[in-house]
Chain A
Amino acid sequence: MGFLTNLINGISLGSVYAIIALGYTMVYGIAKMLNFAHGDVIMVGGYLCFISMTNLGLPPLVGVLLAVVGCTCLGIVVERLAYKPLRGAPSLAVLITAIGVSYFLQNSALLIWGANPKAFTSVIPLPSVSLFDGQLVISSVTIATVLVAIAVMVGLTLFTSRTKMGKAMRACSEDKGAAQLMGINVNSTISMVFAIGSGLAAIAGVLLCSAYPTLMPTTGSMPGIKAFTAAVLGGIGSIPGAALGGVLLGIIEIFAKAYLGTQFADAIVFAVLIVVLLIRPAGLLGKEIHEKV
């Protein structure tokens, strides 16, 4: 049963990575920028949910909703103030700005909520599910995480393939100039992508904190880096790739922890990424673009 338990935990952790990775991959696909502040939006989402539940005494579902709305607004504001003035600037300048935003969010959280870890109460107050006469215990958070991830994935796929806005997003990621000529408002589309990505980050933050209930200003940075790795593993810019990369990374991490010791889990996760990129330089589901002279 140990194997099955690890597999389920891996899929659950991987689902969180997948939701975060979606934010990375969508922003990269459309704005061609590595948004290093994404991990910190997760942390903000966690805190927003925490204060609305603990300090304001609101029910968990309202807390989650507040976190999503708050982070969506945050995403739009950050994009507007920090990234929009840099359209067309060298990608490294945008990268450093994103790092500045990341510092800003972390230090704001430090000033507002302090450095002491907060004990997060799970948003899903249901008992664990016990199978095979109690040999396999699955916590309700694990199940909820996987279900939410599947819902997000299906929703996002439908959104990008069926709706007008989704089509505009795909058009922008393919060729911004041509999209603009076709009458697509590129700026508002990019804002939209940031809004969706940040909203997803809030959901991921709440799920992450429910599963690992300590909340600190630096909570988001490591999952952020891991999810970024997952996005690259699956092929950055590709939505199914982010999902696949996230789940794979989660499973690898949990199995490495279980069978090879906790100390080297991170090293193994990153080593897998390197090996995959050496074999498939554009990631698992990424499109390889050949340069033409």
Chain B
Amino acid sequence: MLKNLNKTTRSNIITYGIVIVAFVVMQGLAMAGAISNSLVGLLVPICAYICLTISLNLVVGISGELSLGHAGFMSVGAFCGLVVAACCRGIVGSDIVRLTIAILAAGAMAAVAGVIIGLPVMRLRGDYLAIVTLAFGEIIKNLLNNLYVGKDASGLHFSMESANSLGMQGGTILINGPQGATGIDKLSTFASGFVLILVTLTVVLNLINSRTGRAIMAVRDNRIAAESVGINVTKYRLIAFVVSAALAGMAGALYAMNYSSIVPKKFDFNTSILILVFVVLGGMGNIRGGIVSAALLTVLPELLRFIGDYRMLIYAIVLILVMILSNNAAFQSRLTSLREKVRRRSDDQAALAVDSQSGGASHE
């Protein structure tokens, strides 16, 4: 059946299939109690990181811009989602509806941040663009580190100074500056994470295979040529950037509502880099590869726990080796020649087998 479809559709169906099968298997294993508690605790973060990887892939792989501030959008979404979820507490009964509203609001907020940041950033190119996204990521972290939000009977209170200057009568402090948010309702579930992955995948895959997506890739491949055939370069780069930001914000909200407390420092430069590592190891522009690498690399430190303190060291070495082996020209050519040799040998054997079979027939 798959063979009748065109190549992209087939590839997309395989991608969806992998995600669905992985979800069913993991859900089954978790229900049967076959996986450890620490791994069960990682299920939602894995979903969030997969969404983040897919969304960053849109900027780094499809649009061809190096972004080092993806965690910034994640944190905007995370804290916006937390506030919205807290506001809906008591108003909206169902947890799923509350989570959906929070995630949508987070996406919208992150998209706004994406436009604000994207407009100036899109004037720059290459490494300069990378450093400016890094700078914006640090600015967002710095601002959130000084954000105080509280809720009481009269509504929401915001302050950039201290918890005392909120001027609240009773109520609760939702975000307390550097201490971050505490008392979060843990609304995220593995199933909701799975749905968010599907949504993210649908958005990104459809965008890539649309007229807009082709324009984005044309700009990536040759900006000047794209411009000369009438593609609005800034517009298409901005579309990719903002969609990616919105999806990152949604993933951030999912991630934050998996914990009872979260600090702004969690979303620093290292988190941005972590997501970038997932994208690059999965293959730039390769959505399926990104999904696999995000899942594996989130689990890897957990699996390496038995070697204790050395695990991050091993992780670093694995990272360096993978990069060198997958990019070194000499190693690659040796690998190709080895593959060639193996294939030739199996071809020879197949030919021999055919010969011996047909040999008997021809003699008659």
Contact = CB atoms under 8 A, between A and B. Distances in A.
Given A89-B327, A232-B131, A103 B316 contact: yes
Interface stretch (A42-50, A90-98, A150-158, A196-204): A90-98
B323 A274 contact: no
A85 B328 contact: yes
A100 B134 contact: no
A34 B324 CA distance: 16
B328 A86 contact: yes
A282 B135 CA distance: 16
Overall SS of chain A's interface: helix
Interface in B108-147: 120, 123-125, 127-128, 130-132, 134-136, 138-139, 142-143, 145-146
B138 A228 contact: no
Contacts of B146: 263-264
A4 interface: no
Nearest to A282: B128
A267 interface: yes
Interface in B310-346: 310, 312-313, 315-317, 319-320, 323-324, 326-331
B66 interface: yes
B25 interface: no
Nearest to B284: A92
Interface string B290-317: 0000000000000000000110110111
B143 A267 contact: yes
Interface stretch (B6-14, B179-187, B269-277): B269-277
A270 B313 contact: no
B124 A270 contact: no
Contacts of A291: 224
B19 interface: no
A96 B313 contact: no
Interface string A223-240: 001001100100010000
B86 interface: no
Residue from B134, B145, B324 whose CB has the most chain A CB atoms within 10 Å:
B324
A273 B129 CA distance: 12
A96 B319 contact: yes
A104 interface: yes
Nearest to B133: A274
Contacts of B125: 281
B270 to A, nearest CB: 8
A228 B319 contact: no
Interface centre among B281, B310, B323 (most CB of A within 10 A): B323
Nearest to A103: B316
B101 interface: no
Given A82-B324, A86-B324, A100-B323, A273 B132 contact: yes
Given A86-B327, A278-B123, A228 B143 contact: no
Contact of A96 (B136, B276, B309): B276
Interface string A191-230: 0000000000000000000000000000001000100110
A274 B130 contact: no
Contacts of A281: 123-125, 128
B280 interface: yes
A283 B324 CA distance: 32
Contacts of B145: 263
Contacts of B284: 92
Interface stretch (A53-61, A105-113, A126-134): A105-113
A119 to B, nearest CB: 23
A270 B324 contact: no
Contact of A107 (B123, B131, B313): B313
Contact of B324 (A85, A267, A293): A85
Given A86-B324, A96-B319, A274 B135 contact: yes
Given A86-B327, A93-B323, A270-B135, 20 more contacts: A34-B130, A82-B324, A85-B331, A92-B60, A92-B284, A96-B276, A97-B319, A99-B277, A100-B319, A101-B316, A104-B313, A107-B312, A107-B316, A110-B309, A225-B138, A263-B145, A263-B146, A273-B132, A278-B120, A278-B124
Interface of B: 60, 66, 120, 123-125, 127-128, 130-132, 134-136, 138-139, 142-143, 145-146, 224, 269, 273, 276-277, 280-281, 284, 309-310, 312-313, 315-317, 319-320, 323-324, 326-331
19 contacts: A34-B127, A36-B273, A85-B330, A89-B329, A93-B326, A96-B280, A101-B316, A104-B317, A104-B320, A107-B316, A110-B309, A110-B312, A228-B131, A232-B131, A267-B139, A273-B132, A277-B124, A277-B132, A282-B128
Ranked nearest first, the 5 interchain pairs of A and B with the lowest CB-CB distance are: A103-B316, A270-B135, A100-B319, A104-B316, A89-B327
